[in-house]
Amino acid sequence: MLGILFNEKECKEFDYVLRKELDEMMLDLHDSRLDEDIKQAIAKRYKIIFRMFARIASPKELSRYALNMRNYR
């Protein structure tokens, strides 16, 4: 396990970067032009980024990014 300390400004920037990454992956997961193998790879990465975001986000913010991952296995 690794630990890292952020000051307030860095924490806000980290939050912003994770949100943007989650937004982009959400769009890709709903793109009908992408192959299922690609979507599965994106979904795997989404889970990792979501868990990182869950460490700093409120439950209300998390609910926006919670996906029904059964659709993307």
Which tens digit of pLDDT belongs to each residue from 13-72? 999 999 999 999 999 999 999 999 999 999 999 999 999 999 999 999 998 998 765 566
Q: The pTM is what?
A: 0.85
Q: What is the pLDDT of residue 21?
A: 97
Buried b (16+ CB within 10 A) or exposed e, 26-51: eebbeeeeeeeeebeebbeebeebbe
Q: What is the pLDDT of residue 72?
A: 62
- The amino acid sitting at 64 is R
Q: What is the pLDDT of residue 67?
A: 77
Q: What is the pLDDT of residue 1?
A: 81
Question: Which stretches within 1-73 are classed as H helix?
Answer: 8-29, 36-54, 59-65
Report the chain's terminal Cα–Cα distance, integer Å: 27
